[in-house]
Amino acid sequence: MSENLLLDEMTWPEVEAAINLGTTTVVIAVGAVEQHGPHLPLLVDAVRGDRLAVEVARRLGNSLAAPTIRVGCSEHHMGFAGTLTLRRSTLEAICTDYAVSLARHGFTRLCFVPSHGGNFGPLEEMLPDLRAAVGPDCKVDAYTDLIGFVALWEAALLEVAPELVGRVGGHADIAETSEILCIRPDLVREERAEKGHIEAFDDELKTRIFEDGFRSVTSNGILGDARGATEEIGLACISHAADGIARSLRV
């Protein structure tokens, strides 16, 4: 990528010039620092957010990627050591301050993109308040379809490794592990990758996880199966995810 889309790597005159030339959309990833099984580091959703924001910004056009909000709502992962979590009110305050700051500089569209499952619901709930905070001259949107997001990973596997699509589960699985092989391969403990809880990710499973905690469903912190991850699968998952999110945000 020749053009740098990272807002925080630009100087203020570069940002001002970009706005004046029509780059008026900002993509903000909302990640997490939480457990991802015995084989992946806690920063998975934060660094996935870094990559996803840039990929979505590139697809939307005339867009920049803001610094990822690295910690999110992860109460349902607190049964595993190391997880950090924000209160919903704290996350909303951070998102509001991001949005108001960017709107004051003249950005006219803000797109919040969760890279962690626990942020989808809170983002959907806070959208009316975020829109009210920035006023009528700035549009605020968010991608909030968690089940649809997992389906994007399944579509990627069907394309490049259809025999392994059953290993997609939604967390620390073959899809997420493969993405990290593309982004931070040095942090993947491939020899520790294993099978987790195997079940279709639907509304019933989602409710159980958020109400009773992740550990009530999976003892090792994996939904799906992490085995068989490859860089090729990771690139396909990143591409399908960014395509699907950008498509949704264009509507």
7-145 has which CATH code?
A: 3.40.50.10310
For the chain, list the strands marked E by DSSP. 25-30, 63-65, 109-114, 139-142, 168-171, 223-224
Strands of 115-236, DSSP E = 139-142, 168-171, 223-224
Residue labelled with tokens 């399944």:
154
pLDDT in tens, 188-245: 999 999 999 999 999 999 999 999 999 999 999 999 999 999 999 999 999 999 999 9
pLDDT above 70 (res 49): yes
**R_g of the chain computed on alpha carbons:** 18
Q: How far apart are CA 192 and CA 166, in angstroms?
A: 19
Indicate whether 3 pLDDT > 90.
no
Alpha-carbon distance values, 13 to 18, 24, 125, 160, 233 (Å): 8, 15, 35, 43, 39
Where along the chain do its domains lie? 7-145, 147-241
Mean pLDDT on 17-26: 98
For residue 148, the model assigns a pLDDT of 97
* Residue given tokens 């996935």 in the structure block: 48
Confidence band for 1, pLDDT divided at 50, 70 and 90: very low
Q: What mean pLDDT, rounded, does the chain reach?
A: 97
Whether the per-residue pLDDT at 2 is higher than 50: the answer is: no
Number of H helices, E strands in the chain: 8, 6
> pLDDT tens digits for 124-180?
999 999 999 999 999 999 999 999 999 999 999 999 999 999 999 999 999 999 999
Quick: pLDDT tens for 64-90: 999 999 999 999 999 999 999 999 999
